[in-house]
Amino acid sequence: MRILTTLFFILLSQLAFGQFAYSDSKKEAKEMMALATTFTFQHLYGTDKDIVPKGYKKQFESNVVGMDNKFQVFQKGNKGYITFRGSTDKGMSWVENFYSAMVPAKGTIQLKDKDYPYHFADKEGAAVHAGFALAIIFLSEQMIPEIQALNDKGVYDIVISGHSQGGALATLTRCYLENSPTETLSEKNTYKTYAFGNPMCGNQEFAEEYKEKYADTGTAFSIINPEDPIPYMPVNYEEKGKTIDKKKIIGWLTGKEDFNFKKIGMDLFLRKFDGPIKTHITKSNTLLEKLVSLRFGNVKMPEYVRDINYFPTGERIELDVFDYPKIKAPKNLDEKELSKYELAEDGNMYKKEPMFFQHNPYNYYVGVMKKFNPKDYKKLKKKYLDVNL
pLDDT tens digits, 91-107: 889 889 888 889 999 99
Query: Residue 104 and residue 205: Cα distance in Å, rounded?
Result: 11
pLDDT score for 264: 45
pLDDT digits (tens, 9 = 90+) for 281-325: 566 677 777 778 888 888 899 999 988 789 999 889 999 999 999
Instruction: Please name the fold of domain 21-322+360-388.
Output: Rossmann fold (3.40.50)
Residue among 368, 376, 377, 382 at smallest CA distance from 325: 382
Name the least confident of 217-231, 252-266, 320-334.
252-266
* Residue 268, pLDDT score: 41
Question: Do the beta carbons of residue 138 and residue 62 sit within 8 Å?
Answer: no
pTM of the model: 0.84
Q: CB–CB of 319/224 below 8 Å? A: yes
Task: Return the H-helix or E-strand segment holding 128.
Answer: strand 127-129
| 350 close to 327: Cβ distance less than 8 angstroms | yes
243: pLDDT strictly greater than 80: no
Closest by Cα among 149, 142, 197, 212 to 173 = 142
Q: Which residues lie closer than 8 Å to 351 by C-beta, 6 or more apart?
A: 327, 328, 329, 340, 341, 389
Termini Cα distance of the chain: 53
Tens-place pLDDT, residues 252-289:
445 555 545 444 444 444 444 445 545 555 666 777 77
Q: What is the pLDDT of residues 181-199, one digit of tens each?
A: 888 899 999 999 999 999 9
Which among 126, 83, 93, 128 is positioned nearest to 109, based on CA atoms?
128
- Mean residue pLDDT of the chain comes to 85
For 94, 112, 138, 166, 304, the CA distances from 97, given in Å and listed in that order, are: 5, 22, 15, 11, 16
Domain boundaries, the chain: 21-322+360-388
Residue 251's pLDDT band (cuts 50, 70, 90): low
